Amino acid sequence: MTQNLLFLTGKLAEKSLNKVLSEVQSNPKTPPFKYRIEQIGVSVAALMTSDLIGRRLKETGDADKVIVPGLCQGDLSKLEAQYGVPVERGPNDLKDLPQYFGHAGVTPDLSRYSVEIFAEIVDAPYLSIEGVVHKAKQFQAQGANVIDIGCLPSVPFPHLADTVKALKELDFKVSVDSLHTDDLLMAGRAGADYLLSLTEETLWIADEVASTPVLIPAKPHSLPSLFRAIDVCIKAGKPFLADAILDPIHFGLTDSIVRYQKLRKKYPDIQIMMGIGNLTELTDADTTGINAMLFGMISELDINAVLATSVSPHAVNAIAEADVARRTMFAAKQDERLPRGYTNGLLGLHDRRPFTYSEDEIKEIAAQIKDPSFRIQVSESGMHVYNRDGIFEHTDPFALYPHLKVDDDASHAFYLGVELARAQIAWQLKKRYVQDQELDWGIASEVQNKVAKTAHREASLKEKRNKNR
């Protein structure tokens, strides 16, 4: 059935919106639809609010659905009640409408995953019980399912049992990682859910406590010893996880990946864990890409759990990235699709489509401007600043300053400085820039403080009024 869609927009975007919708409509891969565009009297579509729409749009005609700009603020349910049809936000940039229609306007379902995250508190012996609990809550908020208490060789941990008990009282799932059998026995008796890591030589501990063992080779790279430990657990009907140990780059990474493949091939139904910190922590590269690649392999190998760490400053978001990566790979695997178009959570430094407007298109928009307010856009060729007095282009913000004429307007100069700094960073890194919006740093993005921006504008207007007096 052909849908009738009503798109709301502003004066500057009306022509571009009509062009993009015409192209989308003519694409044979797009589900058939009819559309009408309503320009509701604002210059910039992003400044549209639900209250403003409710006042200016009297009726929706034969529309089956109303699409408002993605940056439109306010409660859309009120508009649905007013018009009696669904009202939803489109993409933030109208140039993304082809992708929006490609996914039928449905947000990908990233609520599901098949990999449990064990988040290790590596320095637990040095922390108080309160300190461990604080860090555990941070990791849990980032997506961890199990809190792993790391024990350090030759470092006393007299409060290990009390730490486990404190976490269990707060309903955390807990694992304890130690090379010493005394630590593992103590942790198991204190209520730890998992013990890392047992070998065929220390597997007797699993008979002493109720904790689920995580099995590793008795000697580095020795799969036969791991297989023997696995067979003992299978014969006894005891639950376990097996870890073939992922090695760092140049210290056996490729061979270790092969070991995981052999482990899964020999035991297609067992629970497997992979410790990923040897790559995220020990490689000077952004962990977003490393996590994406790792979880791609984890998905293909049907690995069930990861041991993740967040120690090095460059790996500060590694747990949260692991959460995004496991959900993305699960969804892509279920859909039998490439892991593209699900989320920008792992696109920290770059964007897939950074420059949605060409230099010529920006000039065409600039020619419509009749007021003194500056607009800023970024194209492949650089930054573009324009108002009714003309358009100025450069790759260096300092080269644009003489054209702005804000020498006696500190507030406006500060605002333009902030926006041009963002625009320059976006141009250099090939990221998407939208005026008055924070750059999207993926999982590292922070919620924008709109109150601060509003307060700044109010202060600027007050300053101008005082000067006029």
pLDDT digits (tens, 9 = 90+) for 443-453: 888 765 655 65
Q: pTM of this prediction?
A: 0.84
Residues in the chain: 469
pLDDT of residue 96: 85
What is the pLDDT averaged over residues 200-217? 97
CB count within 10 Å of CB 223 equals 15
- DSSP tally for the chain: helices H, then strands E: 17, 15
Q: Which residue, among 104, 126, 173, has the nearest Cα to 335 in the 3D structure?
A: 104
What is the pLDDT averaged over residues 47-63? 91
How far apart CA 101 and CA 7 sit, in angstroms, is 13
What is the pLDDT averaged over residues 156-171? 97
pLDDT digits (tens, 9 = 90+) for 334-358: 999 899 888 999 999 999 889 999 9
What is the pLDDT averaged over residues 149-161? 94
320 touches 139 (CB < 8 A): no
**Beta strand spans in 30-84 (E):** 33-39, 65-68
State the pLDDT confidence band at 457, using cuts at 50, 70 and 90.
low
Q: How far apart are the first and last CA of the chain?
A: 62
How far apart CA 448 and CA 454 sit, in angstroms, is 12
How far apart CA 350 and CA 82 sit, in angstroms, is 40
Residue 463 has pLDDT above 90, yes or no: no
Residue 118 has pLDDT above 80, yes or no: yes
Residue 256 has pLDDT above 90, yes or no: yes
| DSSP label at residue 93 | S
Cα separations in angstroms, 384 against 42, 293, 371, 378, 391: 22, 36, 16, 6, 7
Residue 17: both structure tokens together: 């919106």
pLDDT digits (tens, 9 = 90+) for 79-91: 999 999 999 998 8
pLDDT of residue 464: 61
- Which residue is associated with the tokens 């694992």? 175
State the pLDDT confidence band at 468, using cuts at 50, 70 and 90.
low
State the pLDDT confidence band at 224, using cuts at 50, 70 and 90.
very high
pLDDT of residue 467: 67
| DSSP label at residue 360 | H
CB count within 10 Å of CB 376 equals 20
**In the predicted model, what is the mean pLDDT of the chain?**
92
Q: Which residue, among 395, 383, 388, 350, has the nearest Cα to 368 in the 3D structure?
A: 388
pLDDT of residue 100: 81
How far apart CA 14 and CA 16 sit, in angstroms, is 6
Residue 252 has pLDDT above 90, yes or no: yes
pLDDT of residue 2: 81
Phi then psi for residue 358, to 5 deg, are: -80, 170
How far apart CA 80 and CA 217 sit, in angstroms, is 60
**Beta strand spans in 380-455 (E):** 382-387, 390-394
Check residues 220 and 394 and name the one with the higher pLDDT. Answer: 394
Residue 157 has pLDDT above 70, yes or no: yes
Q: Which residue, among 106, 62, 67, has the nearest Cα to 86 in the 3D structure?
A: 67
